[in-house]
Amino acid sequence: MWNPGRVCVLALSTLALLPLTFQGQQQNPYSLSTQTNLVTVPTQVTTQQGDFIYGLQGSQFVVTDNGVRQRIRLEETPEQTGLSLVVLVQCSRAAALESAKLAGLSTMIEDITGAAPHEVAVVSYGTNPSLLSNFTSAPEKLRAAVSAIKPCNENGAATFDAVEYATGLLGERENHYRRAILLISETRDHGSHATPKEVIEELGETNTVVNAVAYSPGRDQFLHQLRYGDEGSNGVADLTPLIIMAINALRKNASSELAALSGGEYLNFTTRKGFDHALGHLANQVHNFYLLSFQPQGTPSPGYHALRTSVPGMPDALVRSRSTYWFEPTPPSAEAH
């Protein structure tokens, strides 16, 4: 496990920012390829007091996929890969009350990305996402984009739609960088058209980590209710119990569960000092991770997979890693017909 010896950059899994989807493969490290079926599992191990535990060997980890133990590989230098980060900031509803607390955001993003190769896109959203800056590594462009984030007079806070949009941006990148979303928002979604199931699928398919820094406007949570369309014959009734549980959790606290499912971190803030502390905490963690990977035994079943990572020899250690991925077989090519 790499120890940078400094407070540096973030990538989460909200930031993975970030325990993000850390990729160390030389081929396409982000897609769950049906040719290699490579699943990456960025993992952090700490003491009960929050101190990182370094020097673990691959043989000390146990990773299960839908309960089946996998044969894992531990990457030696995962921090050498770059970072593609989408900073996703809610501008609507209670965001107007929180905007002054985000004054140091551009500086904190620079701390999160650090000196490693990186590119950052900035998106604000209310009812719909708005791209303020496409991917750039230029600090001046990033600062200009962040300064363009302004409160918007909208009642919607379509977090699922915005995360789906950000995931799409990341999915179009052709580099071999790890992929992450830094989500700054309320805890709940208000008015998305994308379903929780669709968002879970796309995060899993693109190996994207969500790191969430959230505020909880209690009054608004009582005044607004989540709305979901009719699932129809292909809806919730046809899903596995695991994904039903995930969807129900997402409805209660979207930002927290998006982070948990993707292997990222979730933090709350109520003051500017709390916001700066949360981003600083994430920045201090981004490079302190183990990158585990495995190829599922046999042919993975289509759909939602539950991952569990543990260090049996250290029962008191706290282990945080991505908990899901989504596998979708490649359809037969035209040549096969």
Percentage of the chain beyond pLDDT 70 is: 73
List the alpha helices (DSSP H) in the chain: 95-98, 105-113, 139-147, 159-171, 196-206, 218-223, 241-252, 254-262, 272-283
The DSSP annotation for 256-282 comes to: HHHHHHHT--EEE-SSHHHHHHHHHHH
Q: Count Cβ neighbours within 10 Å for each residue of 198-235 and write b for 16 or more, e otherwise.
A: bbbbbbbbbbbbbbbbbbebeebbeebeeebeeeeeee
What pLDDT sits at residue 251?
67
The C-alpha atoms of residue 242 and residue 248 are separated, in whole angstroms, by 10
The C-alpha atoms of residue 299 and residue 34 are separated, in whole angstroms, by 9
For residue 221, pLDDT over 90 is answered with no
Which residue is associated with the tokens 């939602």? Answer: 304
Higher pLDDT, 77 or 270: 270
Strand-pair partners of 183: 212
Strand-pair partners of 125: 90, 129
CB neighbours (10 Å) of residue 327?
20
Higher pLDDT, 99 or 167: 167
Residue 108 exposed, middle or buried by CB count within 10 Å (0-12, 13-18, 19+): buried
Average pLDDT of the chain? Answer: 77
Q: What's the mean pLDDT in 71-92?
A: 84
CB neighbours (10 Å) of residue 189?
28
Higher pLDDT, 83 or 58: 58
The C-alpha atoms of residue 81 and residue 204 are separated, in whole angstroms, by 19
pTM above 0.75, yes or no: no
pLDDT 10s digits, 274-331: 888 888 888 776 667 788 989 888 777 888 788 999 999 999 999 988 887 878 776 6
Contact 204, 326 (CB under 8 A): yes
For residue 196, pLDDT over 60 is answered with yes
User: What is the set of domains in the chain, with CATH numbers?
Assistant: 80-274 (3.40.50.410)
Tell me the two tokens of residue 1.
Answer: 């496990």
pLDDT 10s digits, 103-161: 889 888 888 887 778 999 999 999 999 999 999 999 999 999 999 999 998 989 999 99
What pLDDT sits at residue 240?
56
Percentage of the chain beyond pLDDT 90 is: 33
Mapped onto helix, strand or coil, the DSSP state of residue 198 is helix
What pLDDT sits at residue 98?
87
72-74 β-sheet, strand order: 72-74, 290-294, 39-46, 318-321
pLDDT 10s digits, 223-279: 333 333 333 334 433 445 656 666 666 667 888 888 887 878 888 888 888 888 888
- The amino acid that residue 207 corresponds to is N
